[in-house]
Amino acid sequence: MKKEIIIKANNISKEDGLFDTNLEKVKIYKTSYYDKKSLFIYDLCLILVLQGKKIGHLGANTLTYDCNNYLVVPTTLPLECETYATEEEPFVCLIISIDKKVMYEILDLVQKKEIENDNTHSIGIFSDKLTTDIEDLALKLLKILDSKEESKILGDSILRELYYRIVVGENSSFLYKMFLNSNHEAKIANALKNIHDNYSQHLDIPTLARNVEMSVSSFHTYFKKITSHTPLQYIKKIRLNKAHNLLSKLNYQVNDTAYEVGYENVSLFSREFKSYFLYPPKEAKASFRKK
């Protein structure tokens, strides 16, 4: 990234944390500390790293996003991330929400990529090389974020061009799959949104498959292909991580937490929590303090 971009980013975010900007779809995140694998749930966004590096893990798949590679998340997905940062060189990134309506318009206008036989990026997330065009747009974006007026007047046009630049990127074929509603990938994206919106409710696989007009076997196949988890594994992972947040950050009691995230049996919840995190639910607060 250009030095001007890094200086501008650090001026906007003087402290560590996640911050809103004058543009609703753009947030800036900064941390000055190395963070071992932590779960981040991303929802339909572009991550532009301005300084530092993250390594994301989705099952057996690893993606690096740094000053040379941006990350695109075309659907709601949990990613276990390792963050590389120091006080001298903090990790700073822009988290840019992708407007589905605008993305549909762009995909409809650009020349369609060959996607039918493209298995290059079957998981539901991808990284791509930073181009000069995208770097220039990042700088334009940072320059207008200081002003409410400029953000309101110029922001949408800069974001639209940014969406276009990722659509024509080398690895963007998965975007087409996720946004073409008849594709299996788009159907799984809808199922993922349903799971994240209703994780505390009763969720059974036949109903999830039927809701997106897929057979159970096809649903299983494409779900694991995109998320690297079976549907049941995925639901459990989301519930347990939501439970960890409730216990460690909001001081929930174990029983209340179990019911809040969709478990009817507290003993089962405690066993699965310990199996996943390697310590019982009652120790979640202490574990969070150690980080």
Read off the amino acid at residue 149: E
pLDDT per residue as tens digits for the range 79-128: 899 999 999 999 999 999 999 999 989 988 886 655 444 555 567 889 99
Domains 3-177 and 181-291 share a fold: no
pLDDT per residue as tens digits for the range 268-281: 999 999 999 999 99
pLDDT per residue as tens digits for the range 210-233: 999 999 999 999 999 999 999 999
Query: End-to-end distance of the chain based on CA atoms, in angstroms?
Result: 30
Strand partners for 20: 27
Contact 237, 59 (CB under 8 A): no
Angle at 79 between CA 260 and CA 142, to 5 degrees: 110
Domain ranges of the chain: 3-177, 181-291
At the topology level of CATH, where does 3-177 sit? Jelly Rolls (2.60.120)
At the topology level of CATH, where does 181-291 sit? Arc Repressor Mutant, subunit A (1.10.10)
